Structure 1
Amino acid sequence: MWLHHPRTVKMKEMLFDSKLLGDVNYIYSTSTTSASPEFFENDIRVKGNLDSLGALGDLGWYCLGAVLWAKNYQLPTVVTALPDVTTNSDGVIVSFSASIQYKEPSSSGATTNAIIHCSFLADTSMDLNITGSKGSLNLNDFIIPQRESSASFEFTLGAKFLDLHIGWNVKPERVVVNCDELPQEGLMVEEFTRIVAGIRTTPGVLPDPKWPEISRKTQMLVDAVKKSVDLGCKPVYF
């Protein structure tokens, strides 16, 4: 849903349209929530015979999708689950971390590394931090904004230490984006309605391939992390 928020549009302008942050070098994303005992007892997401992907299929979808978004949906070179995987008695993943690496150098010669952490065992976090060759972008509520009416993020450009390392030469700049018309959930439904209406009213028109492609690539990363876990946290190459 966060892809439909106007804040995401604004961040995209900074990352891709203006190249304000330069080439993306590092991405860090978390999605954690402290689930209740009732959740672990009854929820479909932690049942081995139901939605057996657990935190990976639920929380991991957002973090892996954020990595793809930050790389303009370029697939990585290698995905590796880190050895901090926690499973329940059904063998369902309830907490994990993963490394996603892009080993093909960017125009500046740098590669991109990403780390994600997702868990049903930690306090709520929804962090997305992107570091580029010219600046960085940070927000701590990227999946569900803390306020429905507006959302914000911070970016820093050309940060350096002052003499004697007693501070920074710049402070992060906060950008606030209003969401006056509809919340992101409503905007998602509106987009779906637009696509369906276009198909129904225009004979021969095929669905917009954008969203199926995003879903397919995100699922590919989810599957790669799961395969890495099953292999004992060995790398999975694309």
Structure 2
Amino acid sequence: RSFDKAANFAKANGFPPDTKIYGSYESLLDDPDIDAVYLPLPTSLHLKWAVLTAQKKKHLLTEKPVALSVAEFDQILKACEENRVQIMDGTMWVHNPRTHKMKQFLNDKEQFGQLRTVNSCFTFFADPDFLKNDIRVKPDLDALGALGDAGWYGIRSILWAADYELPKTVTTFRNPVLNEAGVLLECGASLLWADGKIATFHCSFLSNLTMNLTAIGTLGTLHLTDFIIPYQEHQASYTTSAKPGFNELVTGWVQLPSEHTVTVDLPQEACMVREFASLVANIKKNGAQPDKKWPTISRKTQLVLDAVKASMEKGFQPVEIVG
């Protein structure tokens, strides 16, 4: 980072002439006019810069994965709590109004029933340049690879469907794909809860773009094919089906699944920033305490991610989640 790079970026993107330009991260964090910081750095740098950001009393919107491990994230959380700053991760799809509508269906005991299974998949086909040069394939930058980048979304979607109840065990699927540096390019896992519900996720840099999420209850099913980035910016859709009986499985056996479309006033990224900004404003103007909901969700996601890694390291054996 340098002042010249920042100035050239501002000019190239039409920033106003009076825009503040910083030549280093430190100078930005030292500015008393800065209330909050977005941290898009590689995961290996999160611990250092997130802790320093909190110590400078700046609220923190950080990219995912939030850290390389729960142990690292706990250090970040400690700094945030000690300095009374809000932290939220950048999982944007949970802030889309569609997500709220889908949750209403999952909570409908008459239409959906009890959650039994969740299947989540996020893959995209990375080109040779990505697989050689992107930070997400470098062990010194984003050592979690596809698990941290794409798998984070799958894990979060499963926990979201399960009301953020942690599973009892996590078992990684055999034959993950790693590059020569040992960074994951593809993997998946199964999650098992004490009450018998199960979930699976798959993530990959090596397969066609797929963003599927299916939640199956005793009475109904939720399905969508763009759960991370909606196909359209100002509206988002999902399908539901409910209460078909097995003895009706013939042609024309039941009404078609219902498609629902939700109008969105802002892109989901802007919805996320709006939510984050409202939390920061409530702290600054009203003396409120930072909302613990978001860091708690982040930590649970990281716990499962850590368990996926641990299962792999233990020969793909089940690993118990310890909260």
Give the TM-score range, shorter chain.
over 0.9
Tell me which residue corresponds to 1:185: 269
Mapping of residues 41-56 of structure 1, within 5 Å: 41-56=132-147
Letter matched to residue 126 of structure 2: A
1:194 has 2:278 as partner: yes
Q: Distance in 1 between matches of 2:104 and 2:312?
A: 35
Tell me which residue corresponds to 2:259: 174
**CA-CA distance at 1:223 after TM superposition:** 0.5
Q: Is the 8 A contact 1:161 1:168 kept in 2?
A: no
**CA-CA distance at 1:103 after TM superposition:** 2.4
The answer to which of 214-223 and 163-172 deviates more is 163-172
Q: Is the 8 A contact 1:79 1:99 kept in 2?
A: yes
1:113 has 2:198 as partner: yes
Mapping of residues 102-181 of structure 1, within 5 Å: 102-104=193-195, 111-161=196-246, 165-179=250-264, 181=265
- 1:63 aligned to which of 138, 144, 154: 154
Tell me which residue corresponds to 1:108: none
Q: Distance in 2 between matches of 1:29 and 1:84?
A: 18
Q: Distance in 2 between matches of 1:28 and 1:190?
A: 30
TM-score, normalised on structure 2?
Answer: 0.69
Q: Distance in 2 between matches of 1:69 and 1:163?
A: 31
Tell me which residue corresponds to 2:72: none
The answer to which of 163-172 and 37-46 deviates more is 163-172
Structure 1 ranges of 4+ moved more than 6 A: none
Tell me which residue corresponds to 2:35: none
Q: Report % sequence identity.
A: 45
- 2:181 aligned to which of 90, 93, 104: 90
**For 1:136, what is the secondary structure of its paired residue?**
strand
Q: Distance in 1 between matches of 2:250 and 2:110?
A: 28
TM-score, normalised on structure 1?
Answer: 0.93
Q: Deviations over 1:123-170 (max 9, x none)?
A: 000000010011101000000000001110001111235667335322
Tell me which residue corresponds to 2:76: none
**For 1:127, what is the secondary structure of its paired residue?**
strand
- 2:298 aligned to which of 211, 215, 218: 215
| Residues 157 and 164 (structure 1), Cα distance of their counterparts in 2 relative to 1, 3 Å cut | closer
**For 2:294, what is the secondary structure of its paired residue?**
helix
**For 2:107, what is the secondary structure of its paired residue?**
helix
**CA-CA distance at 1:16 after TM superposition:** 1.9
Q: CA RMSD in A?
A: 1.4
1:234 has 2:317 as partner: yes
Tell me which residue corresponds to 1:107: none
Q: Is the 8 A contact 2:169 2:192 kept in 1?
A: yes
1:39 has 2:147 as partner: no
Tell me which residue corresponds to 2:289: 206
Q: Is the 8 A contact 2:111 2:243 kept in 1?
A: no
Q: Distance in 1 between matches of 2:162 and 2:261?
A: 23
Aligned residues: 230
Q: Distance in 1 between matches of 2:113 and 2:304?
A: 25
**CA-CA distance at 1:225 after TM superposition:** 0.4
- 1:78 aligned to which of 162, 169, 173: 169
**CA-CA distance at 1:99 after TM superposition:** 0.2
Tell me which residue corresponds to 2:46: none
Q: Is the 8 A contact 1:153 1:176 kept in 2?
A: yes
Letter matched to residue 231 of structure 1: K
**CA-CA distance at 1:83 after TM superposition:** 0.3
Q: Distance in 2 between matches of 1:73 and 1:118?
A: 20
Q: Deviations over 1:68-88 (max 9, x none)?
A: 000000000100100031100
Q: Is the 8 A contact 1:55 1:93 kept in 2?
A: yes
Q: Distance in 2 between matches of 1:127 and 1:47?
A: 27
Larger Rg: 2
Q: Is the 8 A contact 1:228 1:234 kept in 2?
A: yes
**CA-CA distance at 1:19 after TM superposition:** 5.6
